[in-house]
A and B are shown apart, each in its own frame.
Chain A
Amino acid sequence: MAKKTILPFGPQHPVLPEPIQLQLVMEDEIVVEAIPAIGYVHRGLEKLTETKAIAENIFVVERICGICSFMHALCYCQGIESLMNITVPDRSRFLRVIWGELHRLHSHHLWLGLLADAFGFESLFMQCWRNREMVMDIMEMTAGSRVIISTNALGGVRRDIDSDQQKFILNSLNKLQEELDNIKRVFSDDYTVNKRLVDVAVISKEDAHELGAVGPVMRASGLSFDYRTTGYAAYNELDFEPIVEQSGDCYARMMVRLRECYQSIDIIRQAFAKLPEGPIASPVKGFPSGEIATRVEQPRGEVLYYIKANGTNHLDRLRVRTPTFANIPALLKMVKGLTLADIPIAILSIDPCISCTER
């Protein structure tokens, strides 16, 4: 029986883009338990939303997470809209899908780059982020800002995409798909990459379900759950299937995200083909009242907003359950039995977004 050592992993670590600490209980090189310590970037945004006006809250919830800001705003707007019985114009529903999928694309590219960096493949990291730049350019052109695009509004969207911009976007996506083919070959077939990812940090189907994992972590374990299939925004008029892998290891989680990049490109093309003409926002009058729990599929998984409104311009309570928060218990389970050298990749494989987690 070896002596147990507690090794603090983080809050500052080269592999972590944001601060989280895992206290790893080690027996020699093997992790036997992990205790999380979060709270380094808690900002109290849920409290802030109680003091701001309802329309202003869109800008607050967008800042919960930089990478999936559009989906946070989308989820919030959908919640308030259904409380107030507002019908969103068809064109803005499709525009929401387009921006949502662009966000998914740039988030997955960012993550693929970080993963390549985590297993020490610098040039692959550079290539992923170079490709991501194409998506960022699209965002800058259509919305006026690269990350926090602020195009959602109650009752619709704030900006339109005209036909010149559509051509630019579709050209960029064709180029992106070619580049993605090059990257995919390396990620899926390269000997060294496979050695680092296959059979590392496996989480079984039952565990993933019981621990409440969401998003790519859940789908990589063979559970078919993608909230987009319920057809919010315009997803009910688009054709796609949830992407599922069976093995539940880091490689499966990587493949889910890689294949979702192709899926997103496909969804954007479909949405442009079906994009109807018409207004982009419907008028909003009055204030909501009542309670609702809405969900949206983010790049990292399902997000839940619980909104309680009281008929005034301020909310009673806004509660956000972000996907990383749900994936942390799964992370604690999957690091058990790993060697220390595999911990960075295991942590990264859930795509941790700590600012999301702590709000």
Chain B
Amino acid sequence: MLDNEKIIELQDLKKETLLLKNQGYRYITMSCVDLGDSFDLIYHFDKAYEIYNMRFSVAKGTIVPSLSDVYFCAMLTENELKDLFGLEFSGLVLDCGGNLLITDEVGAAPMTKQYVVKAKESE
């Protein structure tokens, strides 16, 4: 449990974010934690040095609405999580198609717990 945290529902995400934007919050970033069969998504916002967090859990495979039409800067974070966790976002304003950070040879979702890192044989 983080300081200043609010647990919300998936369908309220857009509404809550718009509310925050109108209050003058700055989007910092979002974090994703792999919980096994679901993902914990935490959105971090800032206003006058105070951090505000929004959290909800989604089952794996759920399509999450994108915030990139509210905060354009969410576009990079969402593309990153799409690459690293295999999350799907609907309505991304700029979709890098899962190739923002990684190439196809890495395989899908390298940051999830079940992904096994292979060591180089030369080491």
Contact = CB atoms under 8 A, between A and B. Distances in A.
Judge A-B direct contact (beta carbons within 8 Å): yes
A304 interface: yes
A304 B111 CA distance: 19
Interface string A196-211: 0000000000000111
Interface size class of B (residues with CB under 8 A): 35 or more
Contacts of A44: 110-111, 117
A260 interface: no
B7 interface: no
Nearest to B100: A39
A291 B3 CA distance: 9
Which has the most chain B C-beta neighbours within 10 Å: A36, A211, A319? Answer: A319
Contact of A329 (B44, B73, B100, B102): B73
A212 B51 contact: no
Interface in B90-114: 94, 96, 99-103, 110-111
A355 to B, nearest CB: 12
Nearest to B27: A212
B71 A210 contact: yes
A39 B111 contact: no
A210 B26 CA distance: 6
A326 B29 contact: yes
B31 A35 contact: no
A321 interface: yes
A44 B102 CA distance: 10
B24 to A, nearest CB: 8
A230 interface: yes
Contacts of B32: 319
A219 to B, nearest CB: 13
Contacts of B115: 47
A38 B101 contact: yes
B73 A212 contact: yes
B38 to A, nearest CB: 14
B103 A328 contact: no
A293 interface: yes
B53 interface: yes
B55 to A, nearest CB: 10
Contacts of B76: 36, 325, 328-329
Interface string B6-38: 000000000000000000101111011110000
B42 A306 contact: yes
A167 interface: no
Interface string A131-152: 0000000000000000000000
B29 A35 contact: no
Given A35-B94, A47-B115, A211-B72, 13 more contacts: A42-B102, A209-B24, A227-B49, A293-B44, A293-B51, A293-B53, A317-B33, A319-B29, A321-B44, A321-B77, A326-B29, A329-B75, A330-B73
